[in-house]
Copies of this chain bind each other. A is one copy, B any other.
């Protein structure tokens, strides 16, 4: 399709009909909002979703080179004889403008999708695994609560060990770095502060493995590590 006017009408009609619209062609892109960006001419795929999402994809990469999140208002204009897709949102105020020097194709698809994605191997699965078999953490460990609130946030699993000490368990589904140790340390520190008596509070990081620096941090903070993979 070489006619910008016809392209504009096709895009607008698709948007009005609540369809998923794709435009392939040579375009440049301007974004302004939380940051701002400019992108010179190139061949790209523009995807406009009925929920107000916009995606500009190049020939490379998982991530769109430019985008607009769900909830935006899209508009197809004719600006200086070019197809111009203008997308706006508020809080924060952000605008995306895609100018097509040429349009190779506009496609419209009516979509119905009622299926839910079911994922396994998540942190929630790891939590269930530990709750079903607390001895995986250590012999005598007894979980008492999940998502237990502290001043520093919610603890993944809170419980007691065989000696009656309080235990904070932080779960991670994959190999962890220093950030997870900091997270665990914040919870342990908060709980020590909150327990007025002399209760000992232990912190245990449960994950498949830790990096070297994270391991050093654990040692420094007197925290512990238990190697455990998420099930499945």
Contacts and interface: CB of A to CB of B under 8 A. Distances in A.
B110 A107 contact: no
A69 to B, nearest CB: 5
B61 A53 contact: yes
Count identical subunits in the complex.
Answer: 2
Contact of A117 (B39, B107, B112, B118): B39
Interface string A95-138: 00000000011010111111111111110000000000000000
Given A107-B107, A121-B35, A152 B179 contact: no
A16 interface: no
State which size class the interface on A falls in: 35 or more
A47 B109 CA distance: 14
Given A121-B36, A178-B153, A59 B66 contact: no
Contact of A42 (B37, B70, B113): B113
A80 interface: no
A60 B66 contact: no
